[in-house]
Amino acid sequence: MKILHALEEITDGEPRVFVLGFFDGCHLGHQAVFKEAAKLAEEKSAGIGVITFYPHPMSVLAPGIRVPLLQSEEEKAESFRKAGMDLAVFIRPTKEFLSETAESFLKSLADIPGIKGIVTGDNFSFGKGASGNVSSMKSYFEGSDVAVVTAPLVSEGGKALSSTTVRTLIEAGKVEEAAKLLGRNYTMSGDVVHGFHRGNDLLGFPTANLRMPDARVLPADGVYATKTRIEGKCYPSVTNIGTNPTFGNREKTIETFIIDFDEEIYGKSFTLEWVKYIRGEVKFDSVDALKAQIESDIETAKKILF
């Protein structure tokens, strides 16, 4: 999949249907949009591309407001690739871009060589002050050979499925429920960093410390059954996220004990899948009490993962 960062960079003239949206998490609702695009692309004998934005526009409009996301740019690109996109345009929002009129954005779309169709969700908006919507988009392209299709919002429990719903579930530790809406386990990828070395030196359970990701949705503090992917291989694991109250840490950490694993992992690709919440963080009276609880957590995780 080819990745570009501006609409003007699309110059190959290949016939394509484009999906538009921020698509944070690429959840089941977003996947419904992708499926509509695939149907239209087949009708038009065209490929499929995606036009999205990264980082979140709010990081430009209101830099002081933290917008936690469900995916990094790299993870989102991988979701697009798996959905069959052959081109992804990650527009970098600037104040100038966000101040453009809705009509100016529509003209930019119309100028894309080879564009055959546009697919969005029902609630897609664009232009300064979100003045453009799917209705104005359909009116703009009416009578042209560019088809505009909207995918209805997917409902879950009578409510529209949204990235906000998924974020709220994860932040509450309900990673199992979030997985149902995502169509997969919630994941984080990053570098393994050196921590306090207590896992191996003091407790006898060597842990991999995932570098705390920037601007990402974090599960509620506690212990989780997880899966760890290292260079394409998947291993069962137990992960603690929090401040380790037994030791009085100030900074939040993500520490993972990989079950039945004894290899060097520094410098290797590392992805964590959050499978199920086991318990909250507890301040133990002694190291021995903590060790006993970790052994119990490992047994619980085995029952969940095996």
CB atoms within 10 A of CB 264: 7
Q: Can you tell me whether residue 7 is helix, strand or coil?
A: helix
Active site includes 255?
A: yes
Bridge partners (DSSP) of residue 277 are: 224
DSSP of 131-181, one letter per residue?
A: -EEHHHHHHHHTTSS-EEEEEPPPEETTEE--HHHHHHHHHTT-HHHHHHH
Structure-block tokens of residue 48: 């499929």
Report how far apart, in Å, the C-alpha atoms of 92 and of each of 26, 54, 60, 113 are.
Answer: 19, 6, 10, 21
Distance CA 135, CA 150 (A): 10
The residue annotated as part of the active site, out of 74, 156, 171, 255, is 255
Structure-block tokens of residue 55: 């980082």
Distance CA 94, CA 132 (A): 18
Contacts of 1 (CB under 8 A, 6+ apart): 77, 80, 81, 85, 86, 87, 88
Is residue 31 within 8 A of residue 50, CB to CB? The reply is: no
206 closest CA partner among 267, 266, 256: 256
For tokens 């993870």, the residue is 75
Q: Which residues are catalytic?
A: 255
